[in-house]
Each structure stands twice: as C-alpha cells, then as structure tokens.
Amino acid sequence: MRYWLSVFAASLVSFLFSGALYVFFHPPRDFEARSADISDTMSSSVSPVGRLGAVGVSARVNATPLSKFFENKEHSLLFVGDIMLSRNVGAEMELRNDYAYPFRKIADVLRSADLTFGNLEGPISDVGKDKHNLYSFRADPRSVEGLKISGFDVVSLANNHTMDWGEEAMEQTIELLRKEHILSVGAGKNAEEAGRPQIFDAGDSFRAGFLAYTTVAPPGAGALSNRGGVSETSLENMKKAVRELRDEVDVLVVSFHWGEEYEKRSGSEQQRIAYGLVDAGADIIVGHHPHVSQEIEKYKNGWIVYSLGNFVFDQYFSRQTMEGLMVKAIVREGRIIDIQSIFTPLTETYQPYVEN
Ligand SMILES: [Zn+2]
C-alpha cells in the first residue's frame, strides 16, 4: 500500500505561527488531497501510548536531555537538507562579517520545533589537509554560529563532503558542534563511533533516536575499524543497527545521504534501502544529496522523505536547486501522526526563508 505525495506542485503555501506550534497551511492541491488519505490510515494505527509508554522505560543507552521541547500534547521534529557553509556562502558571510548570515531569515522557524535536524555538507574547521575532491568544502569555524542561533540539536555528517579536509578537520567539526550543544551523527574516529546513534530524551513526552548513513562517500572516506570517516555500510548492518535502536526510542529516524544528483524522483536503490530500513523498524527516513527535492512516500508504518534538497547552498543555476524542502514530523504519544512539508526558497545571497 503506497501513498505518493507530490511535493512538486505549485507553491502557494502560507505559514502560520500559533503559540509554540506553527502550522503549515495550504500545501499544493495534490498534497492536500492525498494527505487526507494518510491521516485516516494513521489514526487507525496510532496506539494509545508510544512504543515506550508515556514514560521512557529504557535507559540502557545514554540519552541527551532535550532542552527546548515544549509542554504540549503534540511535538515536532523538523528536518532540513544540505547545509553548505563554504564557497560562495562562506564568501558572503565573510563579506558581511556575519557568520550566522545564512540563517537570519529562518532561525526562528527552525528553533520553534522541539527537535531540529539538518545535513551538514562539509567540515567546519581551520585544520586538516585538502583531499582535493571534485569540490572540496571547509567552512570557517565562526560559521557554527548560524547553526547555534537556529537551535539545531543534531546534524548528520554522513555525506560526501565531511572528509574533504581529512580526519583532523572532521574531528574538529564534531568538537566545535559539541561545544555549542549540537550533536552529530554518522561520522567518527572509527566505524563504531561513526555508526553510533544519538538519542534525545524529551522527558515523559518522547525519545527520538538518530542514525545516519551515506552511499555516496568518495573512496577512502568511509570509516573502518581503525580509520576515521563517515558511516557507510551494508544494508544488513544498517538494519541490524535499526533493530538494536528500536526498543530504545519512540521515534526512530534514519538520515540518508544518497541518490542521483538533480534527479527529481527517487531511484530504485534508494527505494530498496528505504523499504529495508522501514521493515527493520525505522519510523522515518530523511534523505538528501540530490540537491533537489524528491517525493515523500508512506510505506507501511514508515515515512520516506527521499530528498530534502538544498537548505543552504550556492547552486544558483536553477530554481529547483535554490529551493529546499523543510519537513516537519508531528509526534503524538510517541508516534509520528503526520508529516507536513513546505518549500524554503533561497535568496540570491543564500538565505533560506519561508514565504508568507
Ligand atoms: Zn552530497
């Protein structure tokens, strides 16, 4: 049973902020019609309490207390795609001497969610050695400020740019983020560390766990037992990690850097992996890397966001690359009950914003 949500239709989207919960209104017609179907399905499958019950019962894995979650019946997890703070974006910050500049128009929106996630495309560092990948990114250490003012809780480093300046730069990135209370997932000093989940504990409300993987890392960038890098492994290993995390959390998120660049629909390899991970117990797969957004699919009890596209990037050659998809998962009683999405266009100076 599949429900395809078209997220490519017209962009008449208005945005309301009401109390702690902001609501996305009037998505494209197609989206609206089909999301009604999904809500019906979901309401019948939502149990009275989350997988862990009203109180998180398991404490086997260290969890990070979530500080900014709101005391509501409904909670929100917000996902954005590729964040690239180097190249022209870096030049813009330097020119203006404002290292949070890319986030100025959208920080409030990002911060208003209980938990905020993005894919950090490239190290934030002033050390390391340029590995001369096709494009090598490295952002000024001061640019962590933008992630901080936006209230990011966790970023994925499992992508094709984290290792652009080698292990030293990757490790400094993790450290700089940690100092600002932003956790990372999907990279580390070895495969064990790169594959380790991050778990957030919102008191009695919910526990959310994150895993992150990539299938597009350049040669030598994948973490091994004795080598730092990004999390890149077999589908069997990923499914095993999902099954292990399943009992620890209410909401299980897998971030995935994958797919074909500039393709507006998912490919069979993405689908095969996504179905496997949902079958293993993942609640939501959030994809990125194609630089354009792709469709959202409801598959069994899981949601698959194939590509969020660019969030902060400098690919000004097409509308699709200058417009990301921001997705909000609504969590009630420990389960995702709905998904809402909105496009976030970028200004000419690489600032994403939400249209009024
Ligand atoms: Zn990428």
For ligand 1, the distance from its centroid to the CA atom of residue 257, given in whole angstroms, is: 6
pLDDT at residue 132, rounded to an integer: 84
pLDDT at residue 133, rounded to an integer: 83
For ligand 1, the distance from its centroid to the CA atom of residue 293, given in whole angstroms, is: 13
Q: How far is CA 286 from CA 164, 246, 344, in A?
A: 23, 17, 16
Please indicate, yes or no, if residue 159 is contained in any of the structural domains.
Answer: yes
For ligand 1, the distance from its centroid to the CA atom of residue 286, given in whole angstroms, is: 14
Type of residue numbered 29: R
The SS3 of residue 68 is: coil
Residue 265 and residue 246 in contact, taking contact as beta carbons nearer than 8 Å: no
pLDDT at residue 69, rounded to an integer: 66
Domain count, the chain: 1
Please indicate, yes or no, if residue 25 is contained in any of the structural domains.
Answer: yes
Please indicate, yes or no, if residue 356 is contained in any of the structural domains.
Answer: no
Task: Identify the CATH number of the domain in which residue 143 sits.
Answer: 3.60.21.10
For ligand 1, the distance from its centroid to the CA atom of residue 276, given in whole angstroms, is: 22
For ligand 1, the distance from its centroid to the CA atom of residue 50, given in whole angstroms, is: 34
Please indicate, yes or no, if residue 63 is contained in any of the structural domains.
Answer: yes
Please indicate, yes or no, if residue 123 is contained in any of the structural domains.
Answer: yes
Please indicate, yes or no, if residue 350 is contained in any of the structural domains.
Answer: no
Please indicate, yes or no, if residue 351 is contained in any of the structural domains.
Answer: no
Please indicate, yes or no, if residue 315 is contained in any of the structural domains.
Answer: yes
For ligand 1, the distance from its centroid to the CA atom of residue 162, given in whole angstroms, is: 9
For ligand 1, the distance from its centroid to the CA atom of residue 158, given in whole angstroms, is: 9
CA angle 293, 295, 296 (to 5 degrees): 115
Which residue range(s) make up the domain with 307? 2-345
Name 160's Cβ contacts closer than 8 Å, sequence gap at least 6.
133, 214, 216, 217, 218, 221, 257, 289
Per-residue model confidence as pLDDT tens for the chain (356 residues): 444 444 444 343 333 333 333 333 333 323 332 232 233 333 323 333 344 543 333 444 578 888 666 667 799 999 999 999 999 999 999 999 999 999 999 999 999 999 999 999 999 999 999 988 878 999 999 999 999 999 999 999 999 999 999 999 999 999 999 999 999 999 999 999 999 999 999 877 899 999 999 999 999 999 999 999 999 999 999 999 999 999 999 999 999 999 999 999 999 999 999 999 999 999 999 999 999 999 999 999 999 999 999 999 999 888 899 999 999 999 999 999 999 999 999 999 999 999 87
